[in-house]
Amino acid sequence: MAGYRAPLKDIQFLLQEVFGAQALFASMPETGEVNNELISAVVQEAAKITEGLLAPINQGGDQQGCQFENGLVTTPAGFKEAYAAYTQGGWPGLTGSVDYGGQGMPKMLSAIIEEMAFAANSSFALYTILTTGASLSLSLHGSEELKRTYLPRMYEGAWSGSMCLTEPQAGTDLGMIRTRAVPSADGSYKLSGSKIFITGGEHDLTENIIHFVLAKLPDAPAGPRGISLFLVPKILVDAKGNITGESNNVQCGSIEHKMGIRASATCVMNFDEAQGFLVGELNHGLACMFTMMNYERLSMGLQGNGLAESSYQLAAQYAGERLQGRAPSGIQQEDKAADPILVHPDVRRMLLTMRANIVAGRALSLYAASKLDISRFHPDQNERDVAEQLVSLLIPVQKAYCSDRGFEACVMGQQVLGGHGYVVEWGLEQNVRDARIAQIYEGTNGVQALDLMGRKTVRSNGKLLQLLVQEMDEFTAANMNNDRLQQHLAIFEEARAGLLHCTTTVLSRALDNPDEIGAASYAYMELLGLVLYCFMWLRILTATSSSEPENGYPPDYVDGLVKVGEFFMHRLMPRAQSLAAEIEAGAETLMSLRAEQF
């Protein structure tokens, strides 16, 4: 079977035809030079890296895994060489601040490159995105001295970054962390404590690792309000930004043996009076860290979508070649002993479900990334504020819904291959294992759903949703006279109305019973995700009606998109009704069982 191939035609169609990326970037001075030609060049070069460099070492990396000995982690064969080539290409600094050696590219562009990297080699991609997120937090919240000292080397890829939040007793409830930071006379801090599940906490890819660590001062307020963020280098750095060679009392205690992403080092990290430097203000560490978290959560949705794309490519090729049985409508290949399994309706159901959700998930990820760009770069403060509010609503849905659909797509692809999907050599069983983690880390999908329902919907009294609905309504109003969209607009309007009704229902019930929030949360996240996917398909179908062959999209390609979109509208959208019914059922049947009855 052929290896992963970046879906360049799909990517270009979304960026150019659906979202008008060039016009969007032109509206923001800091991204104004990013035109279609530059976008195409960057995306095509990224495709070469992912296809030719990352994909070939993916399966071997999974089988070999990371090795841990005497506190040091060794990555699998080929990873160091691949990382060196990755850094030589300038990829670590793609979205970095130009003031410190970065390239200043928009997140919308880097997001699609992340998807390709996750599709080709999820373990490798994780080393890169942690550095990107850490660099972003530092650039937005760090002091000038810290930025000048650390950012250039991180943008070069010579130093990497990690995010150290979780402790054995403190996962989602970070207010329970015990890592302590004691002030030193020179203005730095001595950090002591242990962190678990630290992606890229130790490895051999870079000469230094810069840890971003949540900790509390001895006299800090209790709970989340007492958390501060600190930059802690693995090896100490002098005033000129050069490593001294002196250890900073940061040690890896062990690495986890995992279901998937085995070439990504997941570490237990121990800090023993390690020197750290405050990032942002004291006791405001969560706000600084969540700058990074929004970008990392977007990445987890991209991981699900990337692995779904990889699985779809394998499954679609297999279905076109595997001969089994005859088509229900009659023999299709008389010269063969059987027809390819692609003729069977149930195989088509799986493949079309995969593709319909992949295209919509990619579009939703780009849509969310565009809001991140607007919130960061747009010259109009009101536009930035609205985009930031939309980001807070979209990110938990994008993370959870895309990673859920991504995992399901990997399982469907495995099912298409039957017994071959269960054995190692085909690669699909690895995709299933690698995709599963995206639903768990950076906040489990259940936590994302609770955040969406509780903080972003009930606490705001539905105001954030209204911003999204307003944007949806503006789009549908602008396209209400498009004859080719009428049936699809009706389907969307019905689902949108159902979402608003469910929102009102939960808001009302939550006044008397707070359990209604959690009881509705996952189905509500799924419903909003489905409606957003429908909205994305509306935008795609609108673009297909105006796309011309001279734009580089042949009629057969466009016709294929239309048919996949129609499948989504008629075969997948009906689920909105069952999700609404689940939400309407309320909390009683969930909460009535006594604890001892479980």
Single pTM value for the model:
0.97
Q: Which CATH number, 1.10.287.540, 1.10.540.10, 3.40.190.80, 3.90.950.20, labels domain 8-144?
A: 1.10.540.10
For the segment 353-370, the average pLDDT, to the nearest whole number, is: 98
Residue 236: per-residue pLDDT: 97
Angle between helices 345-377 and 381-417 (to 10 degrees): 160
Confidence of residue 2 (pLDDT cuts 50, 70, 90): confident
CB atoms within 10 A of CB 472: 19
Q: Which of the residues 114, 202, 309, 442 is marked catalytic?
A: 442
Q: Assess contact for 9 and 553: CB atoms under 8 A.
A: yes
Please tell me the distance from the alpha carbon of residue 147 to that of residue 183, in angstroms, as a whole number.
21
Percent share of the chain, pLDDT over 70: 99
Query: pLDDT tier at 224 (50, 70, 90 boundaries)?
Result: confident
Given the DSSP bridges, would you call strands 228-233 and 235-237 parallel, antiparallel or unpaired? unpaired
> What burial letters (b/e) apply to 296-313, b meaning 16+ CB within 10 Å?
bbbbbbbbbbbbbbbbbb
| pLDDT reading at 552 higher than 80 | no
Amino acid code (one letter) for 147: K
| Mean of the per-residue pLDDT values of the chain | 95
| Chain segment 57-91, per-residue pLDDT in tens | 999 999 999 999 999 999 999 999 999 999 999 99
What are the extents of the domains in the chain? Answer: 8-144, 161-283, 444-591
Task: Inform me whether the pLDDT recorded for 404 exceeds 80.
Answer: yes
pLDDT digits (tens, 9 = 90+) for 479-523: 999 998 999 999 999 999 999 999 999 999 999 999 999 999 999
Average pLDDT over residues 373-378: 96
Please count the CA atoms within 13 angstroms of the CA of 50 that sit on its side-chain side: 29
Angle between helices 345-377 and 515-546 (to 10 degrees): 100
Rounded to whole angstroms, the Cα distance separating 193 from 211 reads 13
Between the alpha carbon of residue 160 and those of residues 46, 54, 128, 140, 274, the distances in Å are 20, 18, 8, 17, 18
Whether domain 161-283 has CATH 2.40.110.20: the reply is: yes
User: What pLDDT score was predicted for residue 171?
Assistant: 77
Residue 550 confidence (pLDDT) above 70: no
Query: Which DSSP letter does residue 432 get?
Result: H
If you search the block for the tokens 């990290």, which residue do you land on? 269
30-43, pLDDT tens digit by residue?
999 999 999 999 99
> What's the per-residue H, E or C state across 174-208?
HHHCCCEEEECCCCCEEEEEEEEEEECCCCCCCCE
- CA 419, CA 319: separation in Å to the nearest integer? 13
Amino acid identity, position 197? F
297: nearest Cα among 137, 512, 444, 428: 444
Kindly tell me if the per-residue pLDDT of 549 is higher than 90: no
Distance from C-alpha of 132 to C-alpha of 144, rounded to nearest angstrom? 18
Convert the pLDDT of each residue in 267-318 to its tens digit. Answer: 999 999 999 999 999 999 988 887 788 888 999 999 999 999 999 999 999 9
pLDDT digits (tens, 9 = 90+) for 41-57: 999 999 999 999 999 99
Cα(299)–Cα(286) distance, rounded to whole angstroms?
A: 19
Q: What percent of the chain has pLDDT over 90?
A: 92
* pLDDT band at residue 545 under the 50/70/90 scheme: confident
Tokens at 314, concatenated: 């394998």
Query: Which residues make Cβ contacts (< 8 Å) with residue 554, sequence separation at least 6?
Result: none
Whole-number pLDDT of residue 443: 92
Residue 140 has pLDDT above 70, yes or no: yes
Grade residue 1 by pLDDT with cuts at 50, 70 and 90.
low
pLDDT band for 175, please (50, 70, 90 cuts).
confident
- Known catalytic residue at 442: yes
Is the Cα torsion angle 537, 471, 456, 506 positive or negative in sign?
Answer: negative
- Taking the C-alpha atoms of residue 209 and residue 201, their distance in angstroms, rounded to an integer, is 7
pLDDT at 547: 62
Q: What Å distances lie between residue 137 and 140, 150, 163, 443, 531, CA to CA?
A: 5, 12, 10, 18, 32
Give tens-digit pLDDT for 427-438.
999 999 999 999
Q: Are 272 and 248 spatial neighbours (Cβ–Cβ below 8 Å)? A: no
One-letter amino acid identity for 129? Answer: I
Give 188's pLDDT tier (boundaries 50, 70, 90): very high
| Residues 173-199 as b or e (16 or more Cβ within 10 Å = b) | ebeebebbbeeeeeebbbbbbbbbbbb
Given this model, what pLDDT does residue 546 score?
77
Cβ contacts of 546 within 8 Å, gap of 6 or more = 17
Phi, then psi, of 271 in degrees rounded to 5:
-115, 120
